Amino acid sequence: MKARAYVEVNLGAIRANLKRIADGTDADILAVVKADAYGHGLIPVARTALEAGASWLGVALLEEALQLRTAGITAPLIAWLTPPGDDFEAAIDNNIDLSISSLQLLREVHDAGLALGKKPRVHIEVDTGMRRGGFLAEWSEFLQELEFVKADLEIIGLWSHFARADEPDSDFSEVQIRQFQAREAELEELGITPSITHLSNSAAALRIAGAHRSLVRVGIAMYGLSPDVEFMGSSQQLGLQPAMSIYAKLVNVKFAEKGSAVGYGGTAVLTDDTHLGIVAMGYSDGLPRRASSDAGATINGVRAPLVGRVSMDQCIIDCGESPSCVGGDYVQIFGATESGYTADDWAKASGTINYEIVTRIAARLPRIYID
C-alpha cells in the first residue's frame, strides 16, 4: 500500500550542504541532529553527516544521544539540554559529552562520575548574551567550586550560543565574542584550557568567519534552509540545497461553484468556478492550521494554493478550472523544485520560520531516503 503522505529526504543534499560549509571554514564541523534531525530522521542523517566529513554530532536531549549510541554510532557526541535528574551515569557510560550550565548540573554530573569511577566529559556553557542556557550570575561561584572538582572531570570544551548572528547589521555578535573571550581567560587562570571552543551556529558558520574557533555547529544550513530568509537570503542565494520534500495524495478532485464557502468557518469564498483538491494531509501531520493561501501544493509544476483552513487530517487546494489531476494522484506540499512551494513559503504563510515547518512534520509520515 502506498502511503497517503510521505517525506522524501535527499541525503545527497545534506552532503552537499556540509561541503558548502566545510569549504568556508578551517574549523571542524558538528552536525546538529536534534529533534529527529530537524524532522529528517535521526539515524540516517547522523550517519550521512559523518560520512560527509562532520567530526562531531550534537543533540539537545540525552535520550537522542542514547539512541545514536544504541545504533552503533561511536563518533564524538554532545547532549546540551540535560535537566537535573537526567541519567548522567548512562551518559558517562556511553561516552556522551555533557554540557554544564549551572552549579546544580555540575554537582550532579560530578557525583555520577564518582559513582562510576569515571571522569565525565564536559563542555562548560557560558551565557554571553542569549539569556537562555549557560552560566551567568553563578559564574564566580562556579569557578570557585570548579577548582575543587576539576581533577574529577575531563573538561573538553567551552561554548556559548549566538543570539543575533543572522543579522548582518547587528554588532551584538561582537559583544558576545568579547564576553566569551573574557570567560575563556578566567578559566585559563585556573589552569583550564579546553581543547575545543565553539559558539558558531549555522548563521555564524556562513557569515562570521572570525568566530568559527575549533568547531562550528551546523544545524538548519545542513538541511539546506536559510537561517533567516529576510536577513541572509534564500537557500538558493546561500548555495544550499533543501533536503526535505513532502508529498501527499489527493482524496478527491471536485467541481465547486463561484461563491462557495470552503472549510471550517467558511473563511474562504470562491471568486470563480473551480475544482478543489482534497489533500490527505493536515495539522495532525504537521501542517500549520493557520497557513494562508500563500501556501499550497504543486501539481505537475503548477502551484495550487490552499483554500480555507487546514483541517486535522486534510486540507483543500484550488486545482483550477481545468485540473490536470485526479483522486489518487500525489501532490508536492513543499520541496526543492524551482516552481513549487518551499518550506520558506509555508513558514511565511503561517507567520513562523522554516525551522518550525520541517521539525513539526509528524513521525507518522514515513521517511523515504534518496541519495
Residue 128 has pLDDT above 70, yes or no: yes
Q: Give the mean model confidence (pLDDT) for residues 11-33.
A: 98
* Beta-bridge partner residues of 275: 255, 320
User: Helices (DSSP H) in 150-258: which residue ranges?
Assistant: 172-189, 202-207, 229-232, 235-238
Q: For residue range 129-140, list pLDDT tens digits in order.
A: 999 999 999 999
Q: Kindly list the structural domains of the chain, giving each domain's residue range(s) and its CATH number in brackets, ordered by start.
A: 11-223 (3.20.20.10), 244-370 (2.40.37.10)
Q: Which three cell numbers stand for residue 212?
A: 568559527
Residue 313 has pLDDT above 90, yes or no: yes
CA dist 37 → 13, 233, 243, 284, 326 (Å): 14, 23, 11, 20, 34
Residue 275 has pLDDT above 90, yes or no: yes
293 close to 263: Cβ distance less than 8 angstroms: no
pLDDT cut 70: percent of the chain above it = 100
Residue 370 has pLDDT above 90, yes or no: yes
- Which of the residues 2, 34, 150, 369 is marked catalytic? 34
Per the prediction, the chain carries an average pLDDT of: 97
What SS3 state is found at 269? strand
6 close to 335: Cβ distance less than 8 angstroms: no
Per-residue pLDDT band for 337 (boundaries 50, 70, 90) equals: confident
Per-residue pLDDT band for 1 (boundaries 50, 70, 90) equals: low
What SS3 state is found at 153? coil
* pLDDT computed for residue 215 by the predictor: 98
* Beta-bridge partner residues of 9: 244, 369
264 is catalytic: yes
2 is catalytic: no
* pLDDT computed for residue 338 by the predictor: 78
pLDDT cut 90: percent of the chain above it = 97
Residue 45 has pLDDT above 90, yes or no: yes
* pLDDT computed for residue 84 by the predictor: 98
Q: Give the mean model confidence (pLDDT) for residues 17-43.
A: 98
- Which of the residues 254, 264, 330, 369 is marked catalytic? 264
Residue 159 has pLDDT above 90, yes or no: yes
Q: Give the mean model confidence (pLDDT) for residues 103-111.
A: 98
Q: Give the mean model confidence (pLDDT) for residues 331-356.
A: 95
* pLDDT computed for residue 100 by the predictor: 98
Q: Give the mean model confidence (pLDDT) for residues 218-244.
A: 97
Residue 116 has pLDDT above 90, yes or no: yes
